[in-house]
Structure 1
């Protein structure tokens, strides 16, 4: 990643990201793979927090192969007063996660550039590497050739580091470089390169204890002038004549180059890379330091590393992790900078709202851009199957207990959106890790939408989960419904048979309806339960007012209307949209789900008790009717007359 940093003046803030005339910037470049495990949740990257489980690099230990992640902890938001530009080397999956994160978090004075890891692999694939990060662990070597040629300086970070200070202080250390120095590194805080950790241990050559590459200052301009690409390749080729492979990926090759060319390195103070490895000697550093700057969780055990002071370091990490991430959006101090994309439009719309309007909180909630962290935990996408179905649902913290039962009933892929605070997200992570059922499932994708505002954004949550589904079809369910044990296999069979037996209808989306008995009969009456109990084959039904079945549809179906927040008509409006687009409505004879009892939500309690709440919901319905009329014309008349 890269981030730009410079003196904080209004004139310069407009050109802070233009290398030609801007002051030197902070370049942050963490290395990692697109499979993102558990930093501050497993499997995604964020501006908050380092590695929990299996983050990008685990030094000095034979660790099981785990997918590293991209993204590292930066700094407390109140301390950063400089713009940042992140350069991220990712695969396609990681880019999807990170683009959504940066787009929705709307952090001011932050830019992001992406580079395709697949294009870099051939440049390092010839190097044998025992490190579990695989080829991704070698990609730092090619950064000088990969990054824009006018980029002169970068900070390169492992993704398992936590900043406990302003990263601008690290950038300032470039001023200490001599004319010949091109790389800034902290000494390795273990005996790894001394070769005495175990019998017959033969590390790569290094200068003294060697250097740790978890935090690097790179003078890219000087590296290019010095012929860096030829330099590291010649060194690696020579060492590989007598050594079978790298053990610590890029770090071995950096150290071998520095051993041969010691003038290239500028040693950095140890506090800028306090290494908590399995064989760490870092206490020699922090016992004498008054202020730690960067904590490096470079053991494969990450937060679970055995260290007598680990509780202190873990608390530094967790404290920041549970802060309200919305604080990152508020630039109260620092450089004036252009707002994030979309922020000005949102602010203008919010400014036009009347705070005296009885429905103000409904209007405000509709305009809220929630922070989103898709694929929050490790996830294995399902292999392509022509009729596969993903269960799509949303939930909040008070429904977590439903997840284990749901996983037992539905063995197929799921895409679930969770509405959580930052602190609750960490509780959820611990909940999954403690559950044998949940932790064993790799085909369940969890997407965290961070809580903001008083009303539950139910349709926004559904849309997040729906957008991340990867199979041809989706089962649009709710978290309180347990599908029949056989439902997943039955649906795949039913869709396959339907396409074979009715090719003339293959161009028409055909949702399949589900059923539940409920105290609100009009919501499910068209399903005709008496007929369903006797049915042997699928049968058509017609739309009726307030109909809200649970459906299976193609993945590219219309999205839910996000204006409906809280309780009421959120799903009904979606069924209206499906019918307006001429979806054929079929009921399957052997498909069902069971609705489990649960306590009423806060929103339904407000709906029942507050006339104002019901009036606001009616206003949203009226607006929805008007939009239907504008979009579908005369075809929408039946919804205006049939839906009170």
Structure 2
């Protein structure tokens, strides 16, 4: 029996050395070769004495171990846990690394996240707004957007961000033309053209002081905080400098059709709609020389790229696989026609970024496409004004809230506070919402029609297009959802889509009044011709008015003298009207009662100074004096004073402008063979408020008085006459 005990004693001592006393003791007391408890055997006294001594020693060692554990600090213990997690991540792949990094504290709340986007052309700016909305909706950190763009996109996005005034958002632009020499030599059959290759140049184009950036296509939508993606930079190791999601189609496997020959790629290849770029590592590795050398070599056999930058990124990774870090597919779920994106996730709610990389967009096949579609449409029509919220604890950026507070403190006891406060609003503005090309004939007498409208006047656009063939600048006052309705309306109209010389500028709705003069100023600011015709959307110009005005402008010497050419206004009460083709036809309809001089029955003095009786027989332009409440529709040089934005909704918006032109000594000259006709429509909401609200009328009178006093201060003695105007 002693022989049987000795081996067990050695095992017990060995376990003791390993600090595993509780386990060793239980094994010692319970183990036996025949499965019975060892205490059933007879133990001699000397053996029992040795056991007591051994047990005492075991307790002493356990006490020492316990004391040592207590000496470990909390930080040391956390470090041990982190080391264990990293070890596990190395064994189980990149997903475990992401779980590990997500367990870490969030990035500092005021750390700026850099985002790079290639954006060129009118259509791309619409797409990028939806992307930006989704990013702003979830974000909790300051953002810096870096746009590699053409002149068109820079103009549009500069105005958009200036007027959006989002807290803690910076924007920088980089001229795409300066980048083109680096990539224009690459034959490219992709629809994106040269712009689809520009992401290759970002390590060179972006500032040397920027070390990392998230690169996004314009057709992606976020469903989480972009900071979660930014955190993944922490798990890049060694020479890993590019984070990408694996391609979810069979494109790079060459199985889509017979004789399909894609560019070389590692496995299924990677999609470049979402990229993490460690710029510093790429620069250190000589990125620009690396990709160019590989592209030149592959093009000898491939002749051109099919998927723009994506082909070259994959060719580089094929040869230098150490560069890539494989992102989980949730960070770029690709909804193109041939993808298998459903296989890379189990629950739609777990997804991070949806990539609409298909010309079919919302019509792709996917079991969760309805979920994706609703998410996309939500951001598409989401009120962007709600994203102006200030970030808590980070106050270095700009915000519209300061302006609102000043306004509130200044006018809080004023009955007309609402009018004054809305005058201070800067409305979010998206210039050139549709494709636009300048179509000026380049002459010194070219003229642009200037208009503004809201959703209820949208049907007038097609008729305007048929009556005016020249350039038009129109400001549209709409919500985000209404802007999408307008887009669908325009895309379904051959008349509108056939015209590229019309600039459509969306001014997003905010406040309770229609900012009529603000809208006019937005449209006027985009006029590129020397002259402009200031009209309203519910007036149809006579056929041929554009050509007529281009001839009248030089004949009246407008280039050298301050003149405003008055276009006489008429109206009809009929919704269906055979539009007069000449002045003779108009006079006949006027005599028959089919047409009337504009507002003769409700506001005659607004246009009475035009002197319609003289106009009937006039064959040459004639001068008319300024008279109180005169508000004609005029052709003027584009460098005139802006409309006064204190006048909102109904009342005095045009009268005040004509008054200032008179203060600047403009001469009003009526054109003898020109006319416009007002078409009937339901009363606007603002005119209804004017008629029903005594406070509205009271505040308008107060604003008129203030404007007249301001005018007299600005123009001195020649403006004193306006102080007596009721």
Q: Paired residue for 1:329, among 379, 388, 401?
A: 388
C-alpha displacement at 1:442, in angstroms? 2.0
Pairing 1:95–2:154 present: yes
Aligned counterpart, 1:606: 689
**Can you list the C-alpha shifts for 1:247-277, whole angstroms capped at 9, x where unaligned?**
1111111111001100100000111111111
Q: Tell me how far apart the structure 1 counterparts of residues 203 and 240 of structure 2 sit (CA, whole Å).
A: 15
Q: Residue 29 of structure 1 aligns to a residue in which SS?
A: strand
Q: Paired residue for 1:381, among 438, 451, 459?
A: 438
Check whether the contact 1:45–1:98 (CA below 8 A) recurs between aligned residues: no
Aligned counterpart, 1:212: 271
Q: Tell me how far apart the structure 2 counterparts of residues 596 and 290 of structure 1 sit (CA, whole Å).
A: 51
Check whether the contact 1:76–1:165 (CA below 8 A) recurs between aligned residues: no
Check whether the contact 2:118–2:147 (CA below 8 A) recurs between aligned residues: yes
Q: Paired residue for 2:139, among 74, 80, 87?
A: 80
Aligned counterpart, 1:363: 420
C-alpha displacement at 1:334, in angstroms? 3.8
Pairing 1:567–2:650 present: yes
Q: Paired residue for 2:116, among 29, 32, 37?
A: 29
Aligned counterpart, 2:39: none
Check whether the contact 1:422–1:450 (CA below 8 A) recurs between aligned residues: yes
Q: Tell me how far apart the structure 2 counterparts of residues 496 and 313 of structure 1 sit (CA, whole Å).
A: 57
Q: Tell me how far apart the structure 1 counterparts of residues 457 and 145 of structure 2 sit (CA, whole Å).
A: 36
Task: State the TM-score, normalized to the length of structure 2.
Answer: 0.78
Change (3 A) 1:286 1:404: farther
Check whether the contact 1:32–1:137 (CA below 8 A) recurs between aligned residues: no
Q: Tell me how far apart the structure 2 counterparts of residues 311 and 6 of structure 1 sit (CA, whole Å).
A: 32
**Can you list the C-alpha shifts for 1:533-583, whole angstroms capped at 9, x where unaligned?**
211122222211111001111222211000111210000111111121122
Aligned counterpart, 1:135: 194
Alignment of 1:126-525 (within 5 A): 126-287=185-346, 290-305=349-364, 307=366, 309-331=368-390, 334-340=392-398, 344-354=402-412, 356-386=413-443, 387-498=445-556, 502=557, 506-516=559-569, 517=597, 518=599, 519=601, 520-525=603-608
**Can you list the C-alpha shifts for 1:580-623, whole angstroms capped at 9, x where unaligned?**
11222211111111011122112112212222111100111111
**Can you list the C-alpha shifts for 1:209-233, whole angstroms capped at 9, x where unaligned?**
1101000000000000000011011
**Can you list the C-alpha shifts for 1:374-421, whole angstroms capped at 9, x where unaligned?**
111222222452222221111111111211211221222211111111
Q: Residue 243 of structure 2 aligns to a residue in which SS?
A: strand
Check whether the contact 1:44–1:375 (CA below 8 A) recurs between aligned residues: no
Greater share of residues in helix: 2
Q: Residue 476 of structure 2 aligns to a residue in which SS?
A: strand
Pairing 1:594–2:677 present: yes
**Can you list the C-alpha shifts for 1:312-361, whole angstroms capped at 9, x where unaligned?**
21211111222222210122x5442224166534432333221x422111
Check whether the contact 1:512–1:552 (CA below 8 A) recurs between aligned residues: yes
Q: Residue 31 of structure 1 aligns to a residue in which SS?
A: strand
Q: Which 4+ residue blocks in structure 1 deviate beyond 6 angstroms? A: none
CA root-mean-square deviation: 1.9
Q: Give the structure with higher Rg (CA).
A: 2
Aligned counterpart, 1:56: none
Q: Residue 627 of structure 1 aligns to a residue in which SS?
A: helix
Task: State the TM-score, normalized to the length of structure 1.
Answer: 0.88
- State how many pairs are aligned: 591
Check whether the contact 1:44–1:97 (CA below 8 A) recurs between aligned residues: no
Q: Tell me how far apart the structure 1 counterparts of residues 362 and 606 of structure 2 sit (CA, whole Å).
A: 49
- Structure 2 unaligned spans of 5+: 1-104, 570-596
Q: Tell me how far apart the structure 2 counterparts of residues 324 and 338 of structure 1 sit (CA, whole Å).
A: 24
Q: Which has the higher contact order (CA 8 A, sep 6+)?
A: 1
Check whether the contact 1:560–1:570 (CA below 8 A) recurs between aligned residues: yes
